[in-house]
Structures are given as C-alpha cells and as structure tokens.
Structure 1
Amino acid sequence: MFVNPFLKKPRFSVSLCLKQNDSDEKQIQQESSKEVDEEEEEKYWVLTAVRSRYNEIVIIDTLASRYLLLDSTKNVHSVINKNGRNWTGSYWDEFASLPPIIPNGPIAIYGLGGGTAARLILELWPSMQLEGWEIDEILIEKSRDYLGLSELEKPTSKGGRLCVHVDDALSPSQDVSGRYAGIIVDLFSDGKVLDQLQQVPIWLDLASRLMPNGRIMVNCAGIETEQVAANGKPRLELGDSAWMLNSTIKILAEAFPGQVSWKRTPDSQGLNFLALTGDLPDLSDWSNEVPVRLSEAVRQWKLCKTS
C-alpha cells in the first residue's frame, strides 16, 4: 500500500501534531502544498490526522482526489478520485489484472489500506468476492469515514463485495488453508516492504492458503540503492535480470524456484516492481481477457531468470 513517490500526483508537505484520539475532531484548517517540482502550488485540506497503534494516519483532500498518507514517510497508500474513475495510473491498477488467471474463488488483499485496489477490481469484476485484511482498526474507521470504504462492503449488482478483516494477515493463527484463488500482497511499513516478507517460510505459508493453481501478486517496491542520473531521476535498471536488485522478488524466487514472474511499472507509475507466482501465463490470452487499459501492461511480465 505504497506508491513511490507521487510523481505525477502532488507531493504534500504535511507537518502536523497528530492526535492520539480524535473522537471529537473538527476539520483542520486548509493548508497549502507544493508540487514535487515546485513549479506550481496546489491547495489541499487535511480531513483527519491521528496517530494509531500502528500508523500516523493523515487523509487529505484536493479538488481532484483524496489521499491516505501513512507513517512518518507520508507516502500515499490509497487514493480515490472525484471524477468517478477508479483508474489510478499506478501499481494499484495492475492488481485488477489478476482475476482472469486464477481459479474461481475469493481474492485476499493483504494490506487493504483505504481500498484503492478493491474499488477498481469490483468495478471491473463485479461478481468478485474480496477479503481485505488490515491490521489497523483506526485506519479502517477513517477509510470508511473519508474514503468510501463502506460502499465497497455492500454487494454489487452482480453479488461481489469486499469483506474487511481487522487482523494481522501474516499471523499463523489464520486458518485459511486452501481458501483463496488469489492473494494480493501490499504490505509496507515506513516506506519499505515488511521485514517478515524477507523470509522464505512466510511465503510458503501464504502459498498454503491458495487453492490449486492459485497465485500471489505482490507489490515489491523499488530498488533502494538505485543510482541517480544527472537529471536527478533514477537510472533505470530494465534488463532481464533487474529483478535480482529487488530483495523481495529474490526471496520469492528462492521460495518458488522457476515459478515467479516479474515486471516493473514505468516512471510515470512509480517504478514499482511487481511479482507473480505460478507458471508464466499465456500473455496473449491474458491480454485479451483484461480491459484494454491493461492489455499492454500484462504483456510485460517476464519469468525470473538468473541469466
């Protein structure tokens, strides 16, 4: 639940004294922000700012969109557009390509955040049963209040809906063996993939929660040590072995030898690495089964190879 960084969206410079409890919170006064390149200024409103057990939670409003910012990094973990379009132009859109390549059955979203991925999936696949897992109860409350999460919990016209679980998705106590057709993993803390996901056993446990032929799709973030070019932008590593520079994909490849594919979103979409377990799908068939906006994107998946 992290986009790195805003890129074409405004980056907000938020400095607030977060409340421990905001049950009687009133709307915080309007503040101003600056675009990443500081060429223009945009107004935003802070709708809520509160510290929970797990997060520093800030939800901000602009004329075009509403954003969920978390932890000390103030990275964006969810976005909802006000024009009625649920496409984000970021990695969340990629998750909506998963349904055509998995068996019939529910999809789990580990790291639900404000429900950005769930919203698009239910628009495109309205019969889908989603189970969103989020450890932070206050974050869920705020997402219901400000990000329309409660609307996703109501059945669609085709019977699909989002069921929210407030719990630790990685807890071994979760009895979900063989339950899911797909699992989306989007778990971050302080701008990094959770440390637990850098261990092979946790991925084997997650795989045990899948139906036969089920798949896991993972937001693996970027490359921490990526070099910066003279223009200040990352010098992209886009060769067939670039995945080896991402620690999370390396662990996945160790856990599932020969059964992990990868891709990287373009500069305009955050430079996030994504991983997919299972055999590499037939990219042509997959491309034909997703919305046009995703058809070219799914053709970019590659099998992880060491040479």
Structure 2
Amino acid sequence: MRGYALSLTNLLPPSHLSIDIKFKSFAFSIAATHSLIPTPKPSLLLSTHHSKSNSHFSFSVAAQQQVQPGEEENIQLVSSIKTDYNDILIVDTPKARMLLLDSSYSVHSVLYHGSKWTCSYWDEFASLPAIVPKGPIAILGLGGGTAAHLMLDLWPSLQLDGWEIDQILIDKVRDYFGLSDLEKTTEDGGVLNIHVGDVFVPSKDFHERYAGIVVDLFADGKVLPQLQEVNTWLQLEERLMANGRFMVNCGGVGGGPSARDESTHPETLWSGKSWLSNPAMKALSKAFPGQVSWKRMPKENGANFMALTGPLPDLNSWSASVPSPLSQSVKNWRPL
C-alpha cells in the first residue's frame, strides 16, 4: 500500500502464503495495478507457495496456453515481510526487480536492470517538472522510487519529497531499490527527501510548498477511496504553490487494475468519455472544473488513466522540453 493506512483483512502473512499472480497481455504484465514490459507474449501465470516447513518461497512461471516448453522465466524472491500496513514481496526477474504490496500483490514499483525507463505510466511523471514553476515536487506514494529514479536522472537539480506511511517499506527499498543513493545530493543540488507519514494529515509545514505533486496512491489494487472525494483534492491543493499542478495515476476503469478492464465494452474503454468510468477522474473534474486534462496510456503500456490539473500546456513547447519518448507521449494530453 502506498501513502495511507488501511486495515488489512483476510491477509495471510508470507509464512503461510499461497497465491497466484496472473501475468496477462505481455511479458510481466501483472493483472493488478501496474503493467511492466511492453513486449507481446502469451499469458503467463506466476505461482508462489510457501509452507511452515520450508524457509524459502518457491517461484515458478508456467505457461497457461501458448507458451512453448523452455520459455519459462526464472523469478527469485529477494525479500518478504509482513508489516502493520503491507505484505511486502520483492522479487527479481531476468529483466527487472519488482515490489509487490498488499493483499492484491500488485506491482507498485519496478526497477529494470540497466535502465530507468519503464515504458509505463511512471515515465510520464518525469515530464511534470517541465510545466510547473521552479520549486520542489512531492511524490505521494513513493513505493520503490521508480518515478524518483527517472526524475532525478532527467532533472538532476530537482528537489523531491517522497511520501510513504510504512517505515519498514522505506527501509527495504533503501536497501533493494537504491533509494539511499537518491537521498545523496547530486552535483547539481538535486535530492530525494523521504517523509514517513500519512499524506492526508494537514500540515502547515507544507502549505503552498510544492510546484507539483505526483499522486500514485493505491491499496489492494485500487486507487485509495480518499482520492475519489472532492474534498480530498481541495485539501491537497493547499500544498501547491501558485500555478502548481497535480499529475495523477488514476488506475483503470473503476479506479482498479487496467488489466481487468477487459470485461467492459471496448467502445466504453477507449471513447472520449471513458474517463467517466474512473472515480478519481470524476472527483478531479468536480474539484477543478475546466482545469483538468487527461490521457489514457496505450494498451501495451498499461492502459492507466492519467490526470493533469491546471490549464492545458502548450503541447509543442512541452514536447520540445523533454526527451524521447516523452516528447511524443506528452502530445496525447487533452482537456476533459
């Protein structure tokens, strides 16, 4: 879970874990909150089992249908722990390290071996510094720091504040996702400052502090219910400086995993009004009427709804100020 405490019910600790995590549509695309690698492949099924008598998880990826013998991927458990807020699994694949959280075992962060780009919505957050005033940017729902890694790589003087509620999660990602490196000031003055706490608790210390706020808050595979309320956005807006903006990962249809949207009629999924099926998008449109833009990530990149507050930027200028592939993807924003 990211950024806010919700009670964990019907959740077995890792020592009694027996779960199935479905990989659908393409390699390592988890049928949960986030999609990973945009390389078309047959559907896969990751099964993890653990018993009291065995001190290690056994991970295997088996083909459901079209996968031929010998095409299985090796997945290695790096760390697992149950906290007051999360069931935390960190796994390695031949291509990436992944952070899986809460009872849905959604992928909340991914760090590819040799690249900070993900070909998913995390990359979009790195375009935000180009269209906000000079000043610090907050990430609500830091997770394993996927977005923070790329943002500081592209904007080495950027001041980032990352928020998470789970101290144990932060300790883990410092060790396994390189967050401790981001906490060291760069030669250009950029740095990640980590805050452990509830992002929804009002604080005078952060009044009008941020030029931009990235919002990526999920629990049990769905956008937090607080983000479906207009008042939440009006309260969070108090942390933005003049002309500041939110950029938000709103998830899929209904605020849940995009990979489960297949049950919805295709015309609804990709129409110009498809955002109406997303509760966080609807709340944003009511909180900031006439001041919200949106886009939907391509199917091969996860199909998440994304929202941006403030006037629609000049897309050509925005495109010219960011590197490829962002220079193309920012042109897909449109007003509600």
Q: Does TM-score exceed 0.5, indicating one fold? A: yes
1:175 maps to: 205
1:253 maps to: 285
Q: Which residue, 48, 55, 59 being the options, matches 1:14?
A: 48
1:190 maps to: 220
1:11 and 1:294 mapped to 2: Cα distance?
31
User: Which one is further off, 30-39 or 240-249?
Assistant: 30-39
Letter in 2 for 1:198: Q
Letter in 2 for 1:215: R
2:263 maps to: 228
1:22 maps to: none
Aligned residue for 2:74, secondary structure, equals strand
Q: Is the 8 A contact 2:50 2:57 kept in 1?
A: no
Q: Is the 8 A contact 1:28 1:47 kept in 2?
A: no
Q: Is the 8 A contact 1:28 1:45 kept in 2?
A: no
Long gaps (5+) in structure 2 = 3-31, 255-259
1:23 maps to: none
Deviation at 1:42, TM superposition (A): 0.9
1:267 and 1:247 mapped to 2: Cα distance?
20
1:248 and 1:177 mapped to 2: Cα distance?
23
Letter in 1 for 2:121: Y
1:295 maps to: 327
Q: Is the 8 A contact 1:4 1:271 kept in 2?
A: no
2:230 maps to: 200
Render the CA deviation track for 1:169-209: whole Å, top value 9, x for unaligned. 11124631100000000000000000111111110111111
1:240 maps to: 272
1:101 maps to: 131
Matched, 1:149 2:179: yes
2:95 and 2:84 mapped to 1: Cα distance?
30
Render the CA deviation track for 1:4-29: whole Å, top value 9, x for unaligned. 345648764334479xxxxxxxx946
- Tell me the TM-score normalised to structure 1 length: 0.89
2:149 maps to: 119
Letter in 2 for 1:65: A
- Tell me the TM-score normalised to structure 2 length: 0.81
Matched, 1:82 2:113: yes
Deviation at 1:37, TM superposition (A): 6.1
1:61 maps to: 92
1:41-56 aligned at under 5 Å gives the runs 41-56=72-87
Q: Is the 8 A contact 1:226 1:235 kept in 2?
A: no
Q: Which residue, 53, 58, 62 being the options, matches 1:34?
A: 62
Deviation at 1:257, TM superposition (A): 0.4
1:36 and 1:137 mapped to 2: Cα distance?
37
1:29 and 1:226 mapped to 2: Cα distance?
30
C-alpha spacing 1:236/1:267, structure 2 compared with 1 (3 Å): farther
C-alpha spacing 1:149/1:234, structure 2 compared with 1 (3 Å): farther
C-alpha spacing 1:62/1:285, structure 2 compared with 1 (3 Å): same
Q: Is the 8 A contact 2:143 2:164 kept in 1?
A: yes
Q: Is the 8 A contact 1:3 1:91 kept in 2?
A: no
RMSD between aligned residues: 2.4
Letter in 2 for 1:222: G
1:147 and 1:75 mapped to 2: Cα distance?
17
Deviation at 1:38, TM superposition (A): 6.4
User: Which one is further off, 149-158 or 117-126?
Assistant: 149-158
Q: Is the 8 A contact 1:35 1:42 kept in 2?
A: no
1:67 and 1:36 mapped to 2: Cα distance?
22
1:38 and 1:73 mapped to 2: Cα distance?
26
1:163 maps to: 193
Deviation at 1:237, TM superposition (A): 2.2
Q: Is the 8 A contact 1:14 1:74 kept in 2?
A: no
Q: How many residues align?
A: 293
C-alpha spacing 1:74/1:174, structure 2 compared with 1 (3 Å): farther
C-alpha spacing 1:154/1:7, structure 2 compared with 1 (3 Å): closer
Q: Which residue, 85, 92, 101 being the options, matches 1:70?
A: 101
Deviation at 1:33, TM superposition (A): 2.1
Letter in 2 for 1:13: S
Q: Is the 8 A contact 1:182 1:210 kept in 2?
A: yes
Q: Percent identity?
A: 52
C-alpha spacing 1:223/1:37, structure 2 compared with 1 (3 Å): farther
Q: Is the 8 A contact 2:140 2:164 kept in 1?
A: yes
Q: Is the 8 A contact 2:38 2:119 kept in 1?
A: no
C-alpha spacing 1:136/1:250, structure 2 compared with 1 (3 Å): same
Letter in 1 for 2:111: I
C-alpha spacing 1:114/1:186, structure 2 compared with 1 (3 Å): same
